Amino acid sequence: MKYMLLIYNNPSEQPEYGTPEFDSMMADYFAANEQMKEAGVIREGEGLQGIETATSLRIKSDKVETMDGPFAETREHLGGYYVIDVPDLDTALKYAALIPSAKFGTIEVRPLMDYNPAD
């Protein structure tokens, strides 16, 4: 089953770019990536640009509305994701725990819909 691991961080609580703490966090990310690759579970993963680059869209009364920034009002920002393919939620949680941002943010683990299940 495929799971998406959504990485939420509060920018004020994450290590600042260019510091030894940031470098250590990135080394931990590279180690987590490597573990998932070696286990053959990772399907995709990327970081996202900052929320200041986001545009949200919705349709109201058949008219498209766009607004700058993310729609959700929250202190934690969606900063990246992984898509993994593992047998069950317990295994997905094991890999989610490898993500360094879990130490100062939140990792949301959510199964992906399968619209074409095997017969």
| Complete DSSP assignment for 6-36 | EEEE-TTTSPPTTSHHHHHHHHHHHHHHHHH
pLDDT at 73: 60
User: Per-residue confidence of the chain (119 residues) as pLDDT tens digits?
Assistant: 999 999 998 888 999 999 999 999 999 999 999 999 999 999 999 998 888 888 888 888 999 888 887 666 667 788 999 999 999 999 999 999 999 999 988 999 999 998 887 75
pTM of the model: 0.84
Residue with tokens 């545009």: 55
pLDDT at 72: 60
Superfamily of domain 2-111 in the CATH hierarchy: Dimeric alpha+beta barrel (3.30.70.1060)
Q: How far apart are the first and last CA of the chain?
A: 15
- Residue 41's nearest CA partner among 78, 80, 4, 7 is 4
Q: How many degrees, rounded to 5, is the angle at CA 57 between CA 52 and CA 62?
A: 160
